[in-house]
Structure 1
Amino acid sequence: MSLSNAMHLVVLPGDGIGPEITEATVAVLEAASTRFGLGLRLDPDMAGHESLKRHGTTVRPELLDKVRAADGLVLGPMSTFDYTDESKGGINPSMFFRKNLDLFANVRPARTYPGVRHHAAAEFDLIVVRENTEGFYADRNMESGGSEILVTPDVCISLRRITRLCCERIARAAFRLAATRKKHVTAVHKANVLKIGDGIFLDECRKVAAEFPGIVLDEIIIDAMCAHVVRAPQNFDVIVTTNMFGDILSDLTAELSGSIGLGGSVNAGARYAMAQAAHGSAPDIAGQDRANPLSLILSAAQLLDWHAERLGSSAFAAASRAIEAAVAEAVAAGESTSDIGGRLGTKATGQAIVARLAEARAA
């Protein structure tokens, strides 16, 4: 991993609609690099079905070293449900990189956009910060094997790992983010039932909160939170929670904004980060120029912002904001895909954002 003023990104287009939305995202990144002098180097490679066909595995071992030597990863949607047998090369690329790069924070913004019909009572702008390396996920809790145990053909036990280290660092990520926003963190839990695990989570959130006296901390039980966020999402700023609750809440808030296709997502750790669309590979519309590329484009903008914070670079931060603004302007003008009320295809949607970035540079 380099720490130069330039940025080297590995780009893995993925499966289904992945190549189409990745192409649009790469065009936007190149336009942002030109406008802000970022010196982006975009290095295409493969993972998923194409890699399985050519190399007998969805993720080649040397690909991890390549990503570690870069500044970040852009990962297109993967057909993860197809990859069930690692002994036959069916490795889940998303899980593989999250685990091997220790990408502990899944940061998922959700906001309403002018021009898009949303499902909330009022406009809102919030971020779900989800712990990403443990919790009720069978692939993230054990050194080897899964954490679901089939006791008999009719009885399964699922284990959840919760550690103070992971709770502390996800809480810290949330408070640091809230310090740049509306200074409000909501910790979502189920400590009334999961008394020990979620008790540890809340304890660490409170400890970190004591270091940020200017930030308000609320604590809400997950089932009540689902009702609150549907009724009044505008009341929330940064939501921090454990893995499974965050997975559910981030999809819910993205859909409240009008479409999960508007939900950006970055998976970040101390040294590495990965931009990844919030949705799946949608093979039913692959190759039809219908897929919405905005989730991956917004995720790439988040990746630039992560790099900006790491370097203290105003150019990368400005590029991230400019992409987000160009997306909002394009959506408001109807220059987006039909799923959010627009009139363009995948490629043209990307080009509409590129054009806005170029116009701003010329001005």
Structure 2
Amino acid sequence: MSKSSYDIALLPGDGIGPEVVDAAVTILDAAAAAYGFSLSYTSYDAGATLYQSTGVSISAATMEAIGSADAILLGAAGLPSVRKPDGTEIAPQIDIREHYGLFASLRPARLFPGVPTRVQAEHIDMLVIRETTEGLFAGRHDPLEPSDDAVSDRLTITRATSERLFTLAFEQATLRKATQGTPGRVTLLDKANVLRSNAFLRKIFDEIAAKYPDIASDHLYIDAGSMMLVTNPERFDVVVSENVFGDITSEIAAGVVGGLGVAPSGDVSLEHGVFQPCHGSAPDIAGQGNANPVATILSGAMLLDWIADRHDDTTCRTAAAAVRDAVASVLAQGPKTPDLGGTASTSEVTHAVAEALSTSRVRA
């Protein structure tokens, strides 16, 4: 059921996180004002900076509080210089995934006119879906026996998670085909010729595919598929893969459409959604005012889509589409931040998107 106001939890995080979250909130507020709903925000601390002062990257109280929000917007968490005793970086976003069972990361990769790319392609519009709770991350909390000779990580695939993952992938392909005119095809990237876990994964994929006769399906080995993402990205519609394979291929997909500065994402379960840019905290440019806000603004549009689906709210769905159109207009004409070949600041790009959003609403 739709409602007029939604509660959004903000996790600005580290580095450029607060800057790009501020930009996304500006656009979300403009969209809400233009389309007749309201958003209220509560900001929480999480990340490497919090870890340095408290010894935890996200408190138990914060973890519980964000679960009651209608959606969560995260900027970027972690700093390369701040690590746990085992040598790994601080990653509260992974803790959130595990706590709330966010089993899939939706990562659209669309080539916008005006965005430079190093590949020879004119129409790239794919959705990479990464499993996020198991795979090669399954043993993240396994006891570690100190050794200078060998260390192992565990890769686990379960039927329950795989069935949810592939059902989501085929449902997304169905939705994209109906609303965007995409081909309606799901491609699994795996290593089923070598890894028994991946052979099991492929078996489950084929079982789910059989339930969607109107959606085409295929599978490629991850090495060949990664090459094709660069050499023939236009062949892909929905791509789905194991945790680490999906992490890598989603960034390849982002690279072919202009980089992480234009790559949004949403980590979701059936009940909760966390939306964030695919990029990291970029401490080397933090505070300079030239971080690209587009990925976080597009993540905000995904957040509105999530709310629309959860609450059957057509105004949020319309607003999400308007935000994407406004971003497309600005990317085509400028201004652009330095990562896209421009000289504009974060605030200049944000203002331009807000102006394009306002103009399109007036015309409508």
TM-score category by the smaller chain?
over 0.9
SS at match of 1:265: strand
How many Å separate the matches in 2 of 1:347 and 1:297?
12
Amino acid at match of 2:167: R
Amino acid at match of 1:141: G
Aligned counterpart, 2:111: 112
How many Å separate the matches in 1 of 2:226 and 2:264?
20
- Percent same amino acid at aligned positions? 35
Aligned counterpart, 1:38: 37
Once the two structures are superposed, residues 142-190 of structure 1 have per-residue CA deviations (whole angstroms, 9 ceiling, x without a partner) of: 6xx337x557411112211110111111101110000022211101110
SS at match of 1:344: coil
How many Å separate the matches in 2 of 1:313 and 1:204?
33
Amino acid at match of 1:156: V
Matched-pair contact (CA < 8 Å) for 1:302–1:320: yes
SS at match of 2:32: helix
Matched-pair contact (CA < 8 Å) for 1:83–1:92: no
Matched-pair contact (CA < 8 Å) for 1:13–1:75: yes
- 1:17-166 equivalences under 5 Å are 17-52=16-51, 55-85=54-84, 92-123=91-122, 124-137=124-137, 140-141=138-139, 145-146=141-142, 149-150=144-145, 152-166=147-161
Aligned counterpart, 1:7: 6
- 1:304-319 equivalences under 5 Å are 304-319=304-319
Once the two structures are superposed, residues 272-317 of structure 1 have per-residue CA deviations (whole angstroms, 9 ceiling, x without a partner) of: 0001110111111111111111111111111111221122221111
Deviation at 1:12, TM superposition (A): 1.3
- 1:242-253 equivalences under 5 Å are 242-253=242-253
Deviation at 1:36, TM superposition (A): 1.3
Aligned counterpart, 1:193: 194
Q: CA RMSD in A?
A: 2.0
Matched-pair contact (CA < 8 Å) for 1:10–1:43: yes
Aligned counterpart, 1:264: 264
How many Å separate the matches in 1 of 2:12 and 2:67?
18
How many Å separate the matches in 1 of 2:113 and 2:128?
21
SS at match of 2:101: coil
Cα distance, 1:86–1:277 mapped onto 2, change above 3 Å: farther
How many Å separate the matches in 2 of 1:232 and 1:121?
8
How many Å separate the matches in 1 of 2:131 and 2:48?
28
Matched-pair contact (CA < 8 Å) for 1:334–1:343: no
Pair 1:170 & 2:165 matched: yes
Deviation at 1:4, TM superposition (A): 4.1
Deviation at 1:113, TM superposition (A): 1.3
Matched-pair contact (CA < 8 Å) for 2:29–2:38: no
Deviation at 1:341, TM superposition (A): 2.3
Amino acid at match of 2:236: F
Matched-pair contact (CA < 8 Å) for 2:186–2:216: yes
How many Å separate the matches in 1 of 2:197 and 2:18?
40
Deviation at 1:30, TM superposition (A): 0.5
Amino acid at match of 2:136: F
Amino acid at match of 1:211: K
Pair 1:320 & 2:315 matched: no
Pair 1:228 & 2:228 matched: yes
Aligned counterpart, 2:179: none
Deviation at 1:230, TM superposition (A): 1.1
Cα distance, 1:3–1:265 mapped onto 2, change above 3 Å: same
Matched-pair contact (CA < 8 Å) for 1:167–1:200: no
Pair 1:352 & 2:352 matched: yes
Cα distance, 1:110–1:271 mapped onto 2, change above 3 Å: same
Deviation at 1:6, TM superposition (A): 2.6
Give aligned pairs, total.
354
Deviation at 1:271, TM superposition (A): 0.6
Aligned counterpart, 2:285: 285
Matched-pair contact (CA < 8 Å) for 1:13–1:22: yes
How many Å separate the matches in 2 of 1:175 and 1:141?
28
How many Å separate the matches in 2 of 1:14 and 1:227?
34
Matched-pair contact (CA < 8 Å) for 1:141–1:160: yes
SS at match of 1:342: coil
Which runs of structure 1 show a deviation greater than 6 angstroms over 4 or more consecutive aligned residues?
none
Amino acid at match of 2:139: N
How many Å separate the matches in 2 of 1:207 and 1:119?
37
How many Å separate the matches in 2 of 1:210 and 1:334?
45
SS at match of 2:284: helix
Once the two structures are superposed, residues 57-84 of structure 1 have per-residue CA deviations (whole angstroms, 9 ceiling, x without a partner) of: 3212111121111111111111254553
Deviation at 1:45, TM superposition (A): 2.1
Pair 1:179 & 2:178 matched: no
Amino acid at match of 1:95: I
How many Å separate the matches in 2 of 1:83 and 1:4?
41
Aligned counterpart, 1:207: 207
Deviation at 1:53, TM superposition (A): 5.7
Cα distance, 1:80–1:95 mapped onto 2, change above 3 Å: farther
SS at match of 2:220: strand
Matched-pair contact (CA < 8 Å) for 2:335–2:342: yes
Matched-pair contact (CA < 8 Å) for 2:79–2:283: no
TM-score if structure 2 supplies the norm length? 0.92
How many Å separate the matches in 2 of 1:185 and 1:77?
29
